[in-house]
Amino acid sequence: MKVAISFFAGAIVCCVLLFGAKTVIPTRAETEIPVEESDNVTQTFLDLLPDIEKIYRESLILPFVKAESKIYDEDIAEFYGELLDNTGLRMPEEEPPAP
């Protein structure tokens, strides 16, 4: 019985201390001059990140483009170039290498 009473008494004391500390210690820092948030702040953080999509796309496409340069038969090279165009593996701004 003493253990239960001391447990509940300790829990009550801890709650009182927490609520008492909450009133004394500020939870938010307040500034005298309010700073308006702008989209520029988040944009500067996004500029620090690398372009993951571009890195992924280049790592996917580069082996196929390098393989295209190793094809010496004109018919196979033409077929392979059309295959890259139709599957979307070649970037639209890329020009096929001259044979």
Where in the chain are the domains?
52-99
**Residue numbers in the chain where pLDDT is lower than 50:** 94, 99
Start-end of H helices in the chain: 2-24, 39-48, 52-69, 74-87
CB distance 61 to 89 below 8 Å:
yes
In terms of C-beta density within 10 A (0-12 exposed, 13-18 middle, 19 or more buried), how is residue 5 classed?
exposed
Specify the pLDDT at position 7.
92
User: Tens of pLDDT along 71-90?
Assistant: 888 899 899 888 888 888 77
pLDDT of residue 96: 53
Q: pTM for the whole thing?
A: 0.41
pLDDT at 12: 92
Tokens of 36: 């308006």
Per-residue pLDDT, 33: 61
For position 6, what pLDDT does the model report?
Answer: 92
